[in-house]
Amino acid sequence: MTGHPVADAIVVGAGHNGLVAAAYLARAGRSVSVVERDTIPGGAVSTVERFPGYRVDRGSSAHLMIRHSPVLDELALADAGLTYLDCDPWAFCPATDTAGPIVFRTDLDATCASIEGACGRADADAYRAFVATWAPRARALMRSFYEPATPGRFTRAFGGLGPTATTARTGLFGARSGRMMSVTQDLMSSGDALLDRWFGSEHLKAALAWFGAQSGPPMSAPATAPMIGFAALMHQIPPGRAVGGSGALTDALVRRLTGDGGEVITGAAATSISRCGDHWRVDTADGAPRCADTVISACHILATLDLLAAGGFDPEALARWRRQIIVGSGIGMAVRLATRKLPEYRDLPADLPAHGVHSALGLLVTDRDHLRRAQTAAAVGELPDRPACVAMGFSGIDPTLSPPGHHLVNLWAQWHPRHLANGTGWDEVSATAADAMVAEVERHAPGFADAIELRHVQNPQALESELALIGGNIMHVEMTIDQMFMLRPHPDLSGHEVPGADGILLAGASTHPGGGVTGASGRIAGKAAIARSSGRHNGDRRGRRLWRLSPRHLAR
Q: Which of residues 240-269 bind ligand FAD (CB under 6 A)?
A: 269
Among 463, 484, 498, 524, which residue sits at the site for ligand FAD (rule: CB under 6 A)?
A: 463
61 counts as binding ligand FAD under rule CB under 6 A: yes
Among 43, 238, 245, 495, which residue sits at the site for ligand FAD (rule: CB under 6 A)?
A: 43
3-state secondary structure of 160: coil
Count how many residues are written for the chain. Answer: 556
| Residues whose CB falls within 8 Å of the CB of residue 425, separated by 6 or more in sequence, listed in order | none
Is the Cβ–Cβ distance between 209 and 371 less than 8 Å?
Answer: yes
Least distance to ligand FAD from the beta carbon of 414, Å?
11
Nearest to 16 by CA among 471, 525, 536: 525
Least distance to ligand FAD from the beta carbon of 294, Å?
16
Task: Output b/e per residue, 165-175; b: 16+ Cβ within 10 A.
Answer: bebeeeeeeee
Which residues does residue 388 pair with via DSSP β-bridges, in sequence order? 414
Least distance to ligand FAD from the beta carbon of 125, Å?
30
- Gap between the Cα atoms of 340 and 187, Å rounded: 44
334 counts as binding ligand FAD under rule CB under 6 A: yes
Is the Cβ–Cβ distance between 415 and 478 less than 8 Å?
Answer: no
Least distance to ligand FAD from the beta carbon of 438, Å?
16
Considering beta carbons, is residue 18 or 387 the nearer one to ligand FAD? 18
Instruction: For the chain, state the CA radius of gyration.
Output: 23
14 counts as binding ligand FAD under rule CB under 6 A: yes
433 counts as binding ligand FAD under rule CB under 6 A: no
Considering beta carbons, is residue 13 or 343 the nearer one to ligand FAD? 13
Q: Which of residues 381-400 bind ligand FAD (CB under 6 A)?
A: none
Is the Cβ–Cβ distance between 87 and 240 less than 8 Å?
Answer: yes
Q: Which of residues 266-305 bind ligand FAD (CB under 6 A)?
A: 269-270, 298-299, 303
Among 7, 35, 227, 232, which residue sits at the site for ligand FAD (rule: CB under 6 A)?
A: 35
Q: How far is CA 234 from CA 228, 238, 363, in A?
A: 11, 4, 15
Cis preceding-peptide flag for 489 (omega within 30 of 0): yes
Binding-residue pattern over the window 339 to 378 for ligand FAD, x denoting contact by CB under 6 A: ----------------------------------------
71 counts as binding ligand FAD under rule CB under 6 A: no
Least distance to ligand FAD from the beta carbon of 145, Å?
12
3-state secondary structure of 48: strand
3-state secondary structure of 37: coil
Looking at beta carbons, which residue is closest to ligand FAD? 15
Is the Cβ–Cβ distance between 111 and 128 less than 8 Å?
Answer: no
- Gap between the Cα atoms of 379 and 373, Å rounded: 10
Residue 370 host element (H or E): helix 368-379
45 counts as binding ligand FAD under rule CB under 6 A: yes
Least distance to ligand FAD from the beta carbon of 245, Å?
12
**Pairing state of beta strands 32-35 and 7-12?**
parallel
Q: Which of residues 183-242 bind ligand FAD (CB under 6 A)?
A: none
E strands, 212-265, in order: 240-242, 263-265
Least distance to ligand FAD from the beta carbon of 473, Å?
9
Among 6, 8, 9, 15, which residue sits at the site for ligand FAD (rule: CB under 6 A)?
A: 15
Considering beta carbons, is residue 124 or 463 the nearer one to ligand FAD? 463
Count how many Cα atoms sit within 13 Å of the Cα of residue 102 in the half-sphere of its side chain. 30
Q: Which of residues 513-542 bind ligand FAD (CB under 6 A)?
A: 515-517
Query: Binding segment for ligand FAD among 107-115, 130-138, 424-432, 465-473 (CB under 6 A)?
Result: 465-473
Least distance to ligand FAD from the beta carbon of 424, Å?
21
* Main-chain dihedrals φ then ψ at residue 506, nearest 5 degrees: -115, 140
Considering beta carbons, is residue 39 or 432 the nearer one to ligand FAD? 39
| Residues whose CB falls within 8 Å of the CB of residue 399, separated by 6 or more in sequence, listed in order | none
Is the Cβ–Cβ distance between 307 and 270 less than 8 Å?
Answer: yes
Least distance to ligand FAD from the beta carbon of 318, Å?
15
21 counts as binding ligand FAD under rule CB under 6 A: no
Largest Cα–Cα separation, the chain: 75
Among 6, 7, 8, 17, which residue sits at the site for ligand FAD (rule: CB under 6 A)?
A: 17
Considering beta carbons, is residue 161 or 475 the nearer one to ligand FAD? 475
Least distance to ligand FAD from the beta carbon of 44, Å?
3
| Residues whose CB falls within 8 Å of the CB of residue 149, separated by 6 or more in sequence, listed in order | 485, 486, 488, 494, 495, 512, 513
- Gap between the Cα atoms of 318 and 25, Å rounded: 28
Least distance to ligand FAD from the beta carbon of 38, Å?
4
Among 94, 229, 508, 526, which residue sits at the site for ligand FAD (rule: CB under 6 A)?
A: 508
Query: Binding segment for ligand FAD among 53-61, 134-142, 445-453, 547-555 (CB under 6 A)?
Result: 53-61
Query: What are the residues binding ligand FAD (CB under 6 A)?
Result: 12-18, 35-38, 43-45, 59-64, 269-270, 298-299, 303, 334, 412, 458, 463, 467-469, 474-475, 508-509, 515-517
